[in-house]
């Protein structure tokens, strides 16, 4: 027995630890010694290739051996090693949805003798993985009607800060699917967001995600790598959400509001998942009986801290305290004798489009519940009191494109009278919001009055005004218009970027034309 004890110790020193699966006849077993030649430590960027070689000494036939390169996963309560690649030597591209943290991983080679399931382990080496931002620029959600993908355009006008003169433009139309095994997002795209948040001026990078919504699916991807982390429901702890994605909006740079079903969830920059809704719909409550559209307007003024729109009561609702979502009230101006262009609490109209814009700061395009006519409501979110909030109402009934339903998008420039636009499939039209005077649209032109031409049918138009950019101000904020077109065949989608002249509302220059997309649904600046 004593002799067997010493044989056991020698064997352990020779081959490292192993699991012998209950076979204790050590005299008849062949032994194996394995080592990773490159002891490290090793350092690489996420997405780089890690190459390691092994040295194996054994009399066991190679056909009876299986080689697994394993990484320690470092979970909360135990530290299992999980196989990520096979083969005697390693040639592994470190691009995995699970191994996407910036940290130092433990790696070893596990050699299994197949005939008796014995395991022989190599030395453990450290692999420090560093993360870098993936492509930065304009994200483009596009698709063929069956599935959607996210492309990224790296161009000077889509960077948060002005790049150097030698900046190289790059367009990758399949950026999301290329990072996820060619898997796309099922359905037609409906929403695209980057939850760019910060805490005390510094972005909480590990919690920044890209969220894409479609009519039949969703995807939540790591913003650094575009590797999928899960779907919409994975952002919620405990399954307390209805599982009905509506949208996401930001107030300031630290508060994120997630609209799910009729409820609203909230998180700050230090968190990724949310649990209990901050607003839980209750049809029997005066304060919690609103059905909000998934959009908010940051006030920080005398009439409240935020504004939402109730799609059932067809009125704007003020929120007294946005940090805890309390003090809801319809902005109903029912005082007798006051002269106002419209009652914001009783619009009696559906909200078609709403954004910052116009001379006074807030613009909404509405469609009357009564006769179906459309109008634009201009509002002053910094008004001293509620009666000064509604400014002007612009009748759109004379505009044939609006009445016939040909408008595919609206856009407005911040704090500018002459930056009003709508797009049909045929072109982009420009108009002024001038103190309630009649709107007279004209085709969008360059400053020399030459025509701006687009190839294909227009599917999208937007002025880029990213809400939160991690403490950075987008250097072309409010002056870049993007227009997406589609020619009817795969890859015929194009995205145009135009620089606007804010005072006139005309086009200063064509900045770029980027091709190779399918039908373009949504765009958003990717700042990290």
Amino acid 449: pLDDT: 97
pLDDT at site 97:
56
Q: Is the dihedral of CA 7, 9, 10, 12 positive or negative?
A: positive
- Tokens 């002024």 -> residue: 432
Classify residue 280 as exposed, middle or buried by CB count within 10 Å of its CB (0-12, 13-18, 19+).
middle
Alpha-carbon distance values, 359 to 17, 228, 436 (Å): 74, 41, 11
Burial class (CB in 10 A: 0-12, 13-18, 19+), 324: exposed
Q: Please state, in angstroms and rounded to a whole number, the distance separating the CA atoms of residues 374 and 365.
A: 7
How confident is residue 133, by pLDDT bands cut at 50, 70 and 90?
low
What CA–CA distances, in Å, run from 519 to 146, 149, 187, 426, 512?
11, 10, 12, 15, 18
pLDDT of residue 94: 82
| C-alpha R_g of the chain | 29
Per-residue confidence (pLDDT) for residue 181, from 0 to 100: 87
C-beta separation of 249 from 262 below 8 A: no
Q: What is the pLDDT of residue 73?
A: 78
Locate 519 and state its tokens: 């039908």
Q: What is the pLDDT of residues 456-488, one digit of tens each?
A: 999 999 999 998 665 568 999 999 999 999 999
Please name the residue that has the structure tokens 């994975």.
234
Please give the pLDDT value at position 16. Answer: 42
* 9 band by pLDDT with thresholds 50, 70 and 90: very low
Report d(CA 147, CA 160) in Å as an integer: 29
CA-closest candidate to residue 397, choices 332, 359, 354, 349: 349
370-400, pLDDT tens digit by residue? 999 999 999 999 998 999 999 999 999 999 9
Answer for the pair 157, 180: CB distance below 8 angstroms, yes or no: no
Q: Where are the alpha helices (DSSP H) in 127-185?
A: 175-178
Q: Above 60 in pLDDT, residue 5?
A: no
Say if residue 291's pLDDT is above 50. yes
Quick check: 93 pLDDT over 90? no
Containing 276, the helix (H) or strand (E) segment is: none
8 A C-beta contact, residue 483 and residue 510? no
- Paired residues of 485 in beta bridges: 458, 494
pLDDT score, position 218: 97
User: What does the pLDDT read at residue 369?
Assistant: 96
Q: Which of the 8 DSSP states describes residue 205?
A: G
**Cα separation of 238 and 241, whole Å?**
8
For 33, 92, 105, 106, 505, the CA distances from 54, given in Å and listed in that order, are 10, 14, 18, 16, 66
Q: Which range, of 22-36, 205-219, 479-493, 497-511, averages the lowest pLDDT?
A: 22-36
pLDDT for res 101: 73
Predicted confidence (pLDDT) per residue in 198-228, tens digit: 665 566 666 889 999 999 999 999 888 898 9
| φ, ψ dihedrals at 475, nearest 5° | -70, -15
- Which DSSP letter does residue 279 get? B
- Euclidean distance between the first and the last CA atom of the chain, given in angstroms as a whole number: 64
**Cα–Cα distance, 277 to 260 (Å, whole number):** 9
Band of residue 304 on the pLDDT scale cut at 50, 70, 90: confident
Across the range 288-294, mean pLDDT stands at: 96
Q: Which tokens belong to 491?
A: 């890859």
CATH node for 2-130: 2.60.40.10
What is d(CA 352, CA 379) in angstroms, rounded to the nearest whole number?
A: 16
CB atoms within 10 A of CB 451: 10
Joined together, the tokens standing for residue 219 give 């995807």
Q: Over the chain, what is the mean pLDDT?
A: 89
Exposure string over 212-229, b if 16+ CB within 10 A, otherwise e: bbbeebbbbbbbbbbbbb
Q: Does residue 338 have a pLDDT over 90?
A: no
**Stretch 99-116: mean pLDDT, rounded?**
89
**251 — pLDDT class (breaks 50, 70, 90):** confident
Maximum CA pair distance of the chain?
107
pLDDT in tens, 73-89: 765 556 789 999 999 99
Read off the pLDDT band of 61 (50, 70, 90). very high
Domain ranges of the chain: 2-130, 137-526
What average pLDDT does the segment 244-259 reach?
88
C-alpha count within 13 angstroms, C-beta hemisphere, residue 248: 25
Q: Which CATH class is domain 137-526?
A: mainly beta
Q: Give the list of residues 6+ apart from residue 450 with CB closer than 8 angstroms, or none.
A: none
Q: For the beta carbon of residue 461, count every other beta carbon within 10 angstroms.
A: 27
Strand partners, 507: 446, 500
The 10 Å Cβ neighbour count of residue 255 is 19
CA distance 214 to 178: 19
Question: Among 13-27, 110-124, 312-326, 439-453, which stretch is predicted with the lowest mean pLDDT?
Answer: 13-27
pLDDT at 412 > cutoff 80: yes
Over residues 422-434, the pLDDT tens digits come to: 999 999 999 999 9
pLDDT score for 414: 94
Q: What are the strands of the beta sheet with 326-330, ordered from one edge?
A: 297-301, 304-310, 315-321, 326-330
CA distances from 465 to 10, 158, 419, 460, 469 (A): 69, 11, 13, 15, 10
Residue 527: predicted pLDDT: 87
């Amino acid at each position: 027995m004593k002799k067997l004890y010493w044989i056991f110790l020698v064997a352990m020193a020779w081959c490292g630890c192993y699991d012998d699966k209950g076979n204790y006849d050590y005299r008849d077993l062949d032994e194996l010694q394995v080592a990773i030649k490159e002891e490290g430590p090793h350092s690489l960027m996420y997405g780089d290739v890690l190459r390691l070689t092994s040295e194996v000494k054994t009399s066991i036939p190679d056909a009876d051996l299986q080689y697994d390169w394993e990484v320690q996963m470092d979970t909360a309560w135990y530290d299992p090693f999980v196989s990520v690649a096979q083969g005697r030597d390693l040639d592994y591209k470190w691009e995995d949805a699970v191994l996407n943290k910036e940290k130092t991983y433990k790696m070893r080679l596990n050699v299994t003798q197949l005939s008796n399931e014995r395991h022989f382990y190599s030395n453990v080496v450290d692999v420090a993985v560093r993360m870098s931002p993936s492509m930065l620029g304009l994200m483009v959600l596009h698709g063929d009607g069956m599935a959607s993908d996210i492309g990224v355009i790296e161009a000077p006008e889509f960077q948060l800060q002005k790049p150097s003169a030698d900046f190289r433009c790059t367009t990758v139309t399949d950026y999301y699917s290329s990072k996820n095994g060619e898997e796309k997002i099922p359905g037609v795209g409906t929403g695209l967001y980057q939850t760019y948040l910060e805490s005390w001026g510094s972005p909480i990078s590990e919690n920044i995600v890209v969220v894409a919504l479609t009519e039949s699916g969703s995807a939540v991807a790591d913003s650094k790598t575009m590797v999928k982390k899960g779907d919409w429901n994975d952002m919620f702890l405990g399954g307390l959400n209805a599982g009905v994605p509506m949208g996401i909006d930001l107030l300031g740079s630290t508060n994120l509001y997630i609209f799910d079903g009729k409820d609203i969830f909230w998180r700050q920059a230090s968190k990724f998942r949310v649990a209990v809704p901050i607003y839980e719909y209750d049809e029997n409550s005066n304060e919690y009986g609103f059905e909000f559209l998934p959009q908010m307007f940051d006030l920080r003024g005398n009439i409240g801290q935020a504004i939402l729109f109730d799609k059932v009561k067809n009125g704007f609702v003020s929120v007294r305290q946005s940090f805890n979502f309390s003090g809801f009230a319809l902005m109903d101006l029912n005082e007798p004798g006051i002269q106002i262009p419209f009652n914001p609490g009783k619009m009696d109209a559906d909200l078609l489009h709403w954004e910052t814009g116009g001379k006074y700061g807030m613009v909404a395009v509405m469609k009357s519940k009564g006769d179906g006519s459309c109008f634009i409501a201009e509002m002053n979110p910094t008004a001293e009191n509620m009666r000064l909030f509604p400014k002007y109402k612009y009748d759109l009934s004379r505009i044939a494109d609006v009445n016939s339903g040909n408008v595919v998008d609206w856009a407005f420039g911040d704090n500018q009278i002459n930056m009003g636009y709508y797009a049909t499939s045929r072109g982009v039209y420009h108009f002024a919001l001038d103190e309630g005077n009649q709107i007279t649209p004209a085709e969008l032109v360059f400053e020399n009055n030459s025509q701006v031409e687009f190839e294909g049918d227009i599917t999208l138009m937007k002025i880029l005004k990213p809400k939160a950019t991690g403490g950075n101000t987008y250097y072309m904020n409010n002056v870049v218009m993007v227009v997406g077109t589609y020619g009817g065949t795969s890859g015929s989608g194009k995205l145009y970027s135009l620089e606007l002249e804010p005072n006139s509302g005309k086009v200063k220059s064509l900045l770029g034309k980027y091709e190779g997309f399918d039908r373009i649904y949504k765009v958003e600046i990717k700042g990290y």
